[in-house]
Structure 1
Amino acid sequence: MRLSPEVADALADARPVVALESTLLAHGLPRPANRAAADQVEGAVRAGGAVPATIAVLDGVAHVGLTPDETDRVCADPDLAKLGVRDLPVALALGGSGATTVSSTALLAARAGIEVFATGGLGGVHRQAADTFDESADLTALARTSLVVVCAGVKSILDVPATLERLESLSVTVVGHRTRVFPGFYVADSGSVLDWSVDDAEQAAAVFAARRGLTPGAVVVANPLPVAEQLDRELHDRVIAGALAAAEAAGVRGKEVTPFVLDHLHRASEGATLAVNVRLVLHNAELAGRIAAALAALPR
């Protein structure tokens, strides 16, 4: 593992650091918009009071914190692999390169000593999972990895109630940020209700500190977009249905479903979902920066 000088210095001085995934840049956003978004997301973390640490594997080395040239490479390479936890050993041992998902970013961040992670949306239980057994590795990774994950819920293409049930079974703590409604990624309300909420970054940090003292595992902070910034509901429902139908017709399965559907959504909505995606990631990154700063201020 190679830490950038800025990240290494911040961790050595016990200053706040926020981990960021790279699969959003490599597989979640279209080129060249992804490169501008990379700088914007890191800037949002800084605005929240923390040091950003974008994570990727390059030539068999896990990088925690990327240089501008390394970020250029992640954003420009169309053949960059998508690396979950199961893929990390192969990429590291064989000198491969890839962008990290939620599960692998969480693992590498925790190994580096980073306790806060900002992403767009979690993976989860897919629709028709009773037949396909298709469930994201994000869920089990969060059950055994101690960090705060700030997200806008789970992606709208998933089975949200089943995902929340699975998180409960895995004893992953889930709280809403100023809401008792679980967000639906592009929209503020997924239709599912949460048991707990926090009012601010300080309360979120306190919840994680309490969990950290009890047992391993993540605290998910569900952070909805303001209603005025969400995707139009009618457009949301229409393009999601069309994207899922297109994936089914094309025979797309497994980890290829999410990038296929996201690309279809961006095109079908004429860029509206892309704009919302970037807004929610920025929203999450800024809150994650504030939670990291609040966590750093607590006594260990």
Structure 2
Amino acid sequence: MDLFPGAQLTKRIMKYVDIHPNVLHALSHSIPIVALESTVISHGMEYPANVETAKSLEKICIDNDCVPATIAIINGRIKVGLNEESLEILGKREGTVMKSSIRDLPYILTKKYSAGTTVACTSAIATLVGIRVFATGGCGGVHRGPDWDVSADLKALFSCPICVVSAGVKAILDIPKTVEALETNGVCVLSVGCEDFPAFYSRSSGVKSSLVAADASEAADIICTHFETLSSGVLLANPIPEKDEIPSAVIDLHISRALKECEELGIKGKDVTPFLLKRVNDLSGGSALKANIALIRNNVSVACTVAKKTVEHQVYLFSDKIE
């Protein structure tokens, strides 16, 4: 298979990658594509809400004339676009289902495990095949507390030319430090329709946004210019809809308690975020999960607007077709 110049796949890498026929067709015919991550399926929600949510996100893409490309690892194969069986494997956590950041890929592929891919890993894989727009719930970042715990998501945004549409960063993080780390690494952080940087469950974090787009359409124009001039990524910070948000004063109480419990239990590394998200949802009586689903759906809708508007940009960069 001859790949267009924007895809960095080689024959060596291709032996590990399966591209869904719908995604392959979209890549070769300049149809807008929205990449979707899979840790929300494998580690972010319980079954069957995780699979139902994943399907609803893909439907939003289709209803908006975009092709969904949910990215995951299934039995040692990188999948760009999932079928029903793969969604069930992740959702039910059948067999060994891990959480894969970039560093984990060789291990998971060699051991033939399955995995949900983080923002960092999804960004890297999407970039490999030439997908430029990616919707997630919340990006990772700098964790709270004295320990040096920084998500690889930040590094991926610096090194991958991709637009990540996210409700800011996860509220369990140290948001001011995360925003500062993004700026230090030269990542374009663009908020949509809000002067404050969004805080996942809440519309405002109290941190002022340095760059603001009036709406998704204007954001897409800025992102196209970014891709024409720079090789780094963009974090498009899209606030949760007002009707679905949880006030920061309310959610912060749950987060503080969950953080304390996490420390007391000695939970570290990649296990921290899944624990905190689940515990915060339990403490909120399930309202955190409802907000999480609402913000992801909203992010996918905005990502579709961006993807459609950047199609001409993709054609310009990747004019050769896949035969």
TM over 0.5: yes
* Map of 1:108 onto structure 2: 125
Deviates more, 1:240-249 or 1:158-167: 240-249
Q: Distance in 2 between matches of 1:48 and 1:181?
A: 28
Q: Which residue identity lines up with residue 24 of structure 1 in the other structure? A: V
After superposition, residues 34-53 of structure 1 pair within 5 angstroms as 34-53=50-69
Instruction: Say how many residue pairs are matched.
Output: 298
Q: Find 2:99's aligned residue among 82, 90, 93.
A: 82
Q: Where does the alignment leave 5 or more consecutive residues of structure 1 unmatched?
A: none
Q: Is the 8 A contact 1:49 1:290 kept in 2?
A: no
2:112 matched to 1:95? yes
The residue aligned with 2:78 is: 62
Which one-letter code corresponds to 2:103 in the other structure?
R
Point out 4+ residue stretches in structure 1 off by more than 3 angstroms. Answer: none
**Residue in 1 aligned with 2:301?**
286
Contact 1:266 1:272 in 2 (8 A): yes
Counterpart of 1:271, as a letter, is G
Distance in structure 2 (CA, Å) of the matches to 1:52 and 1:126: 30
Equivalent position to 1:144, from 159, 174, 182: 159
1:89-127 deviations in Å (ceiling 9; x for gaps): 222233222110000000000101100000000000011
Q: CA deviation at 1:242?
A: 1.1
Q: Distance in 2 between matches of 1:294 and 1:148?
A: 12
Name the SS for the 1:49 alignment partner. Answer: coil
Measured in 2, the distance between the counterparts of 1:93 and 1:30 equals 27
Identity %: 38
Of the three residues 66, 69, 72, the one matched with 2:88 is: 72
Contact 1:201 1:291 in 2 (8 A): yes
* CA displacement 1:223-265 (0-9 Å, x = unmatched): 0012221014443122111111110111111111100111111
Aligned equivalent of 1:250, options 265, 270, 274: 265
In structure 2, the gaps of 5 or more residues are 1-16, 317-323
Residue 198 of structure 1 corresponds to which residue in structure 2? 213
1:8 equivalenced with 2:24 (yes/no): yes
Cα distance between partner residues in 2 of 1:251 and 1:221 = 33
RMSD, matched Cα = 1.3
Opposite residue 231 of structure 2, the aligned amino acid is: P
SS at match of 2:69: strand
Is contact 1:48–1:287 with CA below 8 Å preserved after alignment?
no
Q: Secondary structure at the match of 1:277?
A: helix
Work out which of the residue numbers 198, 207, 223 in structure 2 matches 1:183: 198
Separation in 2, partners of 1:260, 1:226: 25
For the Cα contact (< 8 Å) 1:14–1:296, is it kept in 2?
Answer: yes
Residue by residue over 1:29-50, the C-alpha shift from the partner in whole angstroms, topping out at 9 and shown as x without a partner, is: 1122111111111112223331
**Contact 1:46/1:286 (<8 A) preserved:** no
State the SS of the aligned residue for 1:156: coil
How much does 1:297 deviate? 3.8
In the alignment, what sits opposite 1:124?
A: 141
Read off the aligned partner of 1:111 and give its amino acid letter: L
1:232, 1:275 → 2: CA distance?
14
CA contact (8 A) 1:47 1:289 kept: no
SS in 2 for 1:62: strand
Q: CA deviation at 1:202?
A: 3.0
**What do residues 263-291 of structure 1 show as CA deviations (whole Å, max 9, x unaligned)?**
11111111100000000000001110111
Q: Does 1:271 find its partner at 2:279? A: no
Partner AA of 2:253 in structure 1? R
Secondary structure of 2:203's partner? Answer: strand
The answer to whether the 8 A contact 2:97-2:113 is kept is: no
Segment drifting more, 228-237 vs 152-161: 228-237
Corresponding residue of 2:256:
241
Single out whichever of 201-210 and 262-271 deviates more from structure 2: 201-210
Question: 1:202–1:295: 8 Å Cα contact kept in structure 2?
Answer: no
User: Shift in Å at residue 77 of structure 1?
Assistant: 1.0
| 2:223 pairs with 1:208 | yes
2:113 partner SS:
coil
Whether 1:31 and 2:50 are equivalent positions in the alignment is no
Looking at structure 2, the residues matched to 177 and 148 of structure 1 have their Cα atoms a distance apart, in angstroms, of: 13
